[in-house]
């Protein structure tokens, strides 16, 4: 199984400041034949289902604000919120789809400082 490890477990950021979430996979999720990273990011708010933010590590889902960005390759990935807004308070998860079983990171809780 590919183990996804997120850091930190939680972070508190002031409104308007940058939030950075890391996700590391236990093996590369970069598929060499198409040069794509098989990684997605989700935002999960209490009482709601997870919402897709990015796929292929950095392709933003339609409707996701551009203050969110995804980056990284191979085994190390980052989700960045450039200017934190109140509505961004949530738990964020990465997910690899390079191989089964599909696996998620443990989540990073983002709060307002």
Partner 1 sequence: QVQLQESGPRLVKPSETLSLTCSVSGYSISSGHYWGWIRQPPGKGLEWIGNIYRSGSTYFNPSLKSRVTISVDTSKNQFSLRLSSVTAADTAVYYCARISYSTYLAWFDSWGQGTLVTVSS
Residue numbers at the binding site for partner 1 (CB under 8 A):
1, 38, 40, 42, 44, 48-52, 55, 61, 93, 95, 97-107
Nearer to partner 1 by C-beta: 41 or 84?
Answer: 41
Q: And the tokens for 24?
A: 């590391």
Nearer to partner 1 by C-beta: 20 or 103?
Answer: 103
Residue found under tokens 């935002």: 43
- 49: Cβ contacts below 8 Å, ≥ 6 apart: none
Asked whether the CA dihedral 46, 73, 3, 112 is positive or negative, the reply is negative
Long-range contacts, 51-60 (Cβ 8 Å, 24+): 53/79, 53/92, 54/79
Nearer to partner 1 by C-beta: 18 or 90?
Answer: 90
Least distance to partner 1, CB of residue 94, Å? 10
Nearer to partner 1 by C-beta: 77 or 83?
Answer: 77
Least distance to partner 1, CB of residue 50, Å? 6
Q: And the tokens for 19?
A: 């939030």
Least distance to partner 1, CB of residue 66, Å? 19
């Amino acid at each position: 199984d590919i183990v996804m490890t997120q850091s930190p477990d939680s972070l508190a950021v002031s409104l308007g400041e940058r939030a950075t979430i890391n996700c590391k996979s236990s093996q590369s999720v970069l598929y060499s034949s198409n040069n794509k990273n098989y990684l997605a990011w989700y935002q999960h708010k209490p009482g709601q289902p997870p919402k897709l933010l990015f796929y292929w590590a950095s392709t933003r889902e339609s409707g996701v604000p551009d203050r969110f960005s995804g980056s990284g390759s191979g085994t190390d990935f980052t989700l960045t919120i450039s200017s934190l807004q109140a509505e961004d308070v949530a738990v964020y998860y990465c997910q690899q789809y390079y191989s089964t079983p599909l696996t998620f990171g443990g989540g990073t809780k983002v709060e307002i400082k």
